[in-house]
Amino acid sequence: MKDKVVVITGASSGIGKALAFAFGREQAIIVICGRKAEALETVSAELDQQAIQNRWIQADVSREADVRNLIEKTVQEFGRIDILINNAGITMRSMLLGMDPNVIRKVMDINFMGTVYATRYALPYLLESKGSIVGISSIAGYRGLPVRSGYSASKFAMNGFLEALRTELLDTGVHVLVACPGFTSSNIRYSALNQAGEVAGETVRDESKMMSSEEVANHILKAVKRRKRDLILTTQGKLTIFLNKFIPGLMDRMVYNTLAREKDSPLKKG
């Protein structure tokens, strides 16, 4: 990873921030983006303290012009891009009935179109470097989760997009990794959108029982080094995907019952 230029979207907290440190400790050059300049400045200063070369660029990945600017500034300063990590994401928590459809549009714009924009504009440079494209997806990209229909849709879309792209890029030397953490301790649930598109501001799950962002980042670092195709994390995640292939009807009930036990779940407990 020494002197590799790594662009990480949504890196002001959570998995994105942990990835910046994980790759930075391997002597990579880190470029982080996010919507909040103050948060990015804080992360950048923390990276500086560990002597990690870095640059922060304010960008909202749902805006194409912001993403193009992110890629152009990175190449202007460092001359190349070796790894693109599409990490920026947002979730939602609401039944479809009663939900403003624009909630799903916002989730799709950030989670899916943000990935499309960043990958499209970084691709010419990744072809030159024979680099890596990473999508931070989710188990929800393999198994739809009730009360998170928009989030699941965005991750299914990301998975299909990256699978198609991987096939387009056969024999080019560009590596595509789809990384699917299970429930991870991060701030994503605190920023989940409700049925009106407002930030809920609290988590409905026990964060202490989840894999940490740092653990996830280390697994992703190893997967990029090995140029793996897919990365499925947590026993629960692997089991969910496996069983959903063979007993999907039973999994409908199991997933329903599991999420019905969440705090203030709109699902009726069976």
The answer to the question of residue 258 being in a domain is: no
Average pLDDT over the chain, rounded to an integer: 92
The answer to the question of residue 134 being in a domain is: yes
Q: What is the dihedral of CA 218, 222, 228, 234, to 10 degrees?
A: -40
- Percent of the chain topping pLDDT 70: 93
Residue of 1 and 206 predicted with greater confidence: 1
The answer to the question of residue 22 being in a domain is: yes
Q: What is the mean pLDDT of residues 96-103?
A: 92
Is 142 a known active-site residue? no
Q: What is the domain count for the chain?
A: 1
**pLDDT at residue 152 is higher than 90:** yes
Structure tokens at 203: 């988590």
**pLDDT at residue 6 is higher than 70:** yes
**pLDDT at residue 144 is higher than 60:** yes
**pLDDT at residue 208 is higher than 70:** no
pLDDT bracket for residue 189 (50, 70, 90): very low
Q: Which of the residue ranges 59-73, 89-103, 114-128, 171-185 would you say has the lowest mean pLDDT? A: 171-185
**pLDDT at residue 78 is higher than 80:** yes
Q: What are phi and psi of 232, to 5 degrees?
A: -110, 120
Q: What is the mean pLDDT of residues 111-116?
A: 98
pLDDT bracket for residue 262 (50, 70, 90): confident
At 229, which CATH number?
3.40.50.720
The answer to the question of residue 267 being in a domain is: no
Contact 133, 119 (CB under 8 A): yes
Q: For residue 198, what pLDDT is reported?
A: 74
The answer to the question of residue 130 being in a domain is: yes
Q: What is the mean pLDDT of residues 177-200?
A: 74
Q: Which of 117, 121, 151, 256 is catalytic?
A: 151
The answer to the question of residue 249 being in a domain is: no
Q: What is the dihedral of CA 43, 48, 50, 54, to 10 degrees?
A: 80
Q: For residue 200, what pLDDT is reported?
A: 65
Residue of 59 and 234 predicted with greater confidence: 59
* Cα end-to-end distance, the chain, whole Å: 50
**pLDDT at residue 206 is higher than 90:** no
Contact 92, 105 (CB under 8 A): no
**pLDDT at residue 193 is higher than 90:** no
The answer to the question of residue 186 being in a domain is: yes
Q: For residue 194, what pLDDT is reported?
A: 78
The answer to the question of residue 78 being in a domain is: yes
By residue range, what is the domain housing residue 200?
5-235
**Nearest C-alpha neighbor of 83 from the set 17, 129, 137:** 129
